[in-house]
Amino acid sequence: MFDWNYTTFIRTYRYITSSVAAKWGQKIANRRNVKAVYVSVERDAEKMNHMHLAIASIEDTNLKKRIASAVNIRENSIGNIEPIRGKKQTLQYISKQLTRQERYIDAYHDLFINSKTRI
């Protein structure tokens, strides 16, 4: 469906709720060069978590800056934007909470598509 070509994570050091993750996912997906974003929130500790992203985008050297601007966070809260080389392995890693035996209650995964993208 989409050519997932970039991955990164967001770690803000404050708890990312499912509603915040949904807002951020849609805001990132609606950026001009982005076609779709798959997000997964993973818990680190009881009151800490981070958000993984798989991004389908045209080649963009300013993607980190665009993400920070879209969700109004500092760029240093965003991990390196890495090209996805092994799509299956990378997407399995991002989605690992879906396949674990003991899933935690605050798990969140969703797909966001740019409203201007034709499927």
pTM of the model: 0.83
Q: Dihedral angle at the C-alpha atoms of 16, 71, 55, 77, nearest 10 degrees?
A: -60
Spatial CB neighbours of 71, under 8 Å, sequence gap ≥ 6: 10, 23, 24, 27, 28
Over residues 9-60, the pLDDT tens digits come to 999 988 999 999 999 999 999 998 999 999 988 887 778 888 999 999 998 8
Q: How many CB atoms lie within 10 A of CB 65?
A: 13
pLDDT at 101: 45
For 18, how many CA atoms within 13 A lie in the half-sphere containing its CB? Answer: 7
Domains in the chain, ordered, with CATH? 6-113 (3.40.1310)
Residue 113 has pLDDT above 90, yes or no: yes
Residue 88 has pLDDT above 50, yes or no: yes
pLDDT at 8: 94
Residue 96's pLDDT band (cuts 50, 70, 90): low
**Contact between residue 28 and residue 71 where contact means Cβ atoms under 8 Å apart:** yes
